Structure 1
């Protein structure tokens, strides 16, 4: 069977599924604008397409996302037509809906089965928009209309699709009912055999001292340090946290760009903004215990999770970070925001301590409690790992479910679960 993936930053969410399909004997292709030239990766033939941001166009500002998606959709349409001329006729096309890549592909392959990774349907209430009163947005009155158009590209792709997939129940339920019925909830999966507790782990990166499980370490990890992931809340409570934990080292992993939301109005990065705000509230001795290490190799990230005395994860009601589940897999004692979809994977006082996102004093109290109680740390870490192994393990749970979803998609049947056959196929 020929399978074609579309993802501008491939492999992205298809990191495990695409090579597993190749191992199972399918002809697997992927189109991506990430690479300058085509190559083979884990049996997947990755083909590049060239993409340039649209410029010098006049359109209503609410149409920016849709305009960009239309441009990318047209680019992918032309790339697909070129593939068709070369004889590529996929049986199944699977695409992420976030950038408009699959908008027009039905025009090229009307008989193919289409699956869409639909990450989130934006809402004007009850999710990230308007959640943080400090950042109300440019025009709160217009959110409904703006988001209607922002969702339109994803909606059109999912409407054309035969099936959808998304990682969490909360993300699935963000979609309106007529789209929700198409979506199966299947996480990408965590390699719990590779990310395990290790009391002998050592964290060593430039910009931080050599740290082990014998040190008191408070970790905070984002792809980029920004308000959507609670960076401002964490930083504003550093003075009290450092005062309460005089021996603690605080390690922050993350870049200085923007993954979600907007950049600071005054320019620079959110790290710059918070350092300027907090500079006078921390002494030189305090800053000596705070380590910004930027983006680090994956092994170093895992090591930090393995030695963390307390790991802090804060988020708006938004897409769940892989890093949280990886921290759970490593057995890290976690203090997290009591927001969706965090509540899907963590239970307060069972597998983590949860706290209101805006409750800075409560955050400090809970981190202090975890750091002060070795028995509590052990219990929380063990329960968190058990939950991930049982519900999000890559090899035994998620990849077989993804295969079951793929097989149902290819056969034109509804996905009802996975079978022993799909589990065997998932492992080649």
Structure 2
């Protein structure tokens, strides 16, 4: 069986499943993305190149759609020039591009990966009521951003979303068409390291401090970076035995924080709001996955916050590494963490409750070790690659048939 994967990035969400299909089920896999082309161990990578996109003259509400059309057409043109590629199944990521045009190239089933369908109420857009509200143009734009999803929901034969929460955001009329299958965590990598080295890159973490970690692609309101910093300050002011380690880039990956930060990054804006002891808060930037495994393994407490939005892989990685996780009591986190069983939950906005919970854990680390072990088992049994990839393959095979 020949599967064609379409995504702006590589390997992204499809890297593990492509490798699994090739290595364990003798599938042929082709991957088209914006990344450089090549061949490796049975996987051919094609590169598409966009020749246009939205400009400042494009209506703000249709810019995402304009860019998605350019990407989708570039994928179509690139594959049209390769008539030797005749897949039995197309799998595409809705968001950056659409698989709509591939119907005109291939007489085969199509599966789409649906990551997030936008809503303007009871959603990520209106969750942070403590920050300046999004303007009407932002809300109108959010509704238009669903256009490519709706086209793909109508066009595809089947679809899947990584979590039940993300699936639940899709229009109800498509619920039977889309299933929930997580991407899968590589538990050969993401697992506790025995006697981990406390040297993370060039940072030697002291042995006389309790380590509290926070990890996010970007430092932004969507992932509660500002709330975490308030918690960190509260703990710094009352304890001298803690060190905070923050991993991530000084950028906004999701959301419109720059609309109110007056030309600074969100991190800079947050740090200017209060007096933080930056000698006890280390910002490591991006680090290698193996270093992150080391960090999770020595973390005494890991914080993960998110608005009702896409769940971060970092939280699942922390759980897999046996970290004691305190997460925001929001829908995507509640799906994975059961309070008192494999982690702890607090109200996203309740800094006092989070600090009190953290103090309880830090003062009684032995009493909370069982949470980390339960978290590790939870990921291994329900969300590891060994569990998720066979489910994906069954979806692919049944749809392709």
CA distance in 2, matches of 1:117, 1:363: 35
CA distance in 2, matches of 1:152, 1:312: 34
Distance 1:263 1:53, change over 3 A: farther
| 1:30 matched residue in structure 2 | 31
* RMSD, aligned CA: 1.8
Distance 1:28 1:338, change over 3 A: same
Question: How far apart are 1:149 and its partner, in Å?
Answer: 1.6
Among residues 259, 262, 279, which one is paired with 2:253 in the alignment?
A: 259
CA distance in 2, matches of 1:101, 1:177: 21
Distance 1:55 1:170, change over 3 A: closer
1:377-392 equivalences under 5 Å are: 377-392=368-383
Contact 2:192 2:293 in 1 (8 A): no
Question: How far apart are 1:102 and its partner, in Å?
Answer: 1.5
1:350-369 equivalences under 5 Å are: 350-369=341-360
CA distance in 2, matches of 1:270, 1:56: 25
CA distance in 1, matches of 2:326, 2:41: 37
Moved over 6 A (4+): none
Question: How far apart are 1:59 and its partner, in Å?
Answer: 3.2
Question: How far apart are 1:166 and its partner, in Å?
Answer: 1.0
| 1:48 matched residue in structure 2 | 47
Q: Which consecutive unaligned segments of at least 5 residues does structure 2 have?
A: none
Contact 2:160 2:180 in 1 (8 A): yes
Distance 1:205 1:374, change over 3 A: closer
Contact 2:189 2:290 in 1 (8 A): no
CA distance in 1, matches of 2:142, 2:56: 21
CA distance in 2, matches of 1:307, 1:332: 8
Distance 1:57 1:378, change over 3 A: closer
Contact 2:198 2:294 in 1 (8 A): yes
| 2:18 matched residue in structure 1 | 18
Q: Does 2:138 correspond to 1:137? A: no
Distance 1:81 1:255, change over 3 A: same
CA distances 1:79-134 after superposition (whole Å, capped 9, x unpaired): 121122xx21111110000112423111211x111010011111112221111011
Which TM-score applies when normalising by structure 1?
0.88
| 1:405 matched residue in structure 2 | 395
Which TM-score applies when normalising by structure 2?
0.94
Distance 1:56 1:389, change over 3 A: closer
Aligned pair count reads 397
| 2:321 matched residue in structure 1 | 330
CA distances 1:221-270 after superposition (whole Å, capped 9, x unpaired): 00111111110111123221112331111000001122111252322322
CA distance in 2, matches of 1:404, 1:68: 33
Q: Does 2:218 correspond to 1:224? A: yes
Question: How far apart are 1:53 and its partner, in Å?
Answer: 5.3
Question: How far apart are 1:55 and its partner, in Å?
Answer: 4.5
CA distance in 1, matches of 2:35, 2:169: 29
Question: How far apart are 1:377 and its partner, in Å?
Answer: 2.2
Q: Which consecutive unaligned segments of at least 5 residues does structure 1 have?
A: 412-428
Partner SS, residue 146 of structure 1: helix
